[in-house]
Amino acid sequence: MEQRAMQVTFISAHDLKDVSRLGKLRPYAEAWVDPCAKQATPLYSDGGTNPTWNHTLSFTIPEASFHHPSARLFIRILHKTHIPRGAAFIGSVSIPLHQLLQTPNSPVSYALLDASESCGQGSIQLRIHLGDKHFLEPSVQQGATICTGGCITTIFYHTPLLCCRRGPPPWRNM
């Protein structure tokens, strides 16, 4: 199966909605293509509505996903609340992967939308770098289940994407 590396550098965000109820806004970003493989930037602890991260997240994406119309890179900006494990939603954007093939390795800006995807919540500046294609020998059979971090991922080779379903690890059912 052909794949390619994708590095997403979160440069900064501007004019974020201040959703903090106590203290200053402490934003961070989450990104994923596969919901079982979410990654996050560090918390911008200096506070404010114009954070600067300059932090890179790395993903390995099946090449076929870049040609599938529904495959997307999802980005969500959240505010770390004072409640343990708490986060307040600021804004999000979803970028079709096929558009990234035309984007050079230069900074790009995307408008963030609110939860109803109707209003602007600021903007985010990214640099997205796609590596060269490389071939990976399939080490699992079609329909095989892989357990990673409590998430069950089922691989179907007849579709271009990794299909993910959440559930308890199979050893818990024994």
22-49 tens-digit pLDDT:
788 999 999 999 999 999 999 998 989 9
- In order of 33, 41, 69, 89, 126, the CA distances from 47 in angstroms are 28, 14, 37, 16, 19
Query: Tens digit of pLDDT for each residue in 101-138?
Result: 887 688 899 999 988 777 778 999 999 999 988 887 66
* Predicted local confidence at residue 120, as pLDDT: 76
Which domain range does residue 163 map to? 138-174
> Is residue 127 a contact partner of residue 105, using CB atoms and an 8 Å limit?
yes
pLDDT at 100: 92
12's tokens? 């900064």
Q: Are residues 106 and 174 in the same domain?
A: no
Model confidence band, residue 14 (pLDDT cutoffs 50, 70, 90): very high
What is the Cα–Cα distance from 123 to 113, expressed in whole angstroms? Answer: 9
Looking at the structure, tell me whether residues 99 and 125 fall in a common domain.
yes
40 by DSSP, 3-state: which? strand
Structure tokens at 105: 């390795």
149 and 76, same structural domain? no
User: What token pair was written down for 40?
Assistant: 């996050």
Does 35 share its domain with 90? yes
Whole-angstrom Cα distance, residue 90 to residue 78? 5
Number of structural domains found in the chain: 2
Give CA–CA dist 64/159, Å, rounded. Answer: 9
Does one domain contain both 13 and 54? yes
What stretch of H or E contains 98? helix 97-100
If asked whether residues 6 and 83 sit together in one domain, one would say: yes
Confidence of residue 173 (pLDDT cuts 50, 70, 90): very low
pTM: 0.76
- Same structural domain for residues 73 and 124? yes
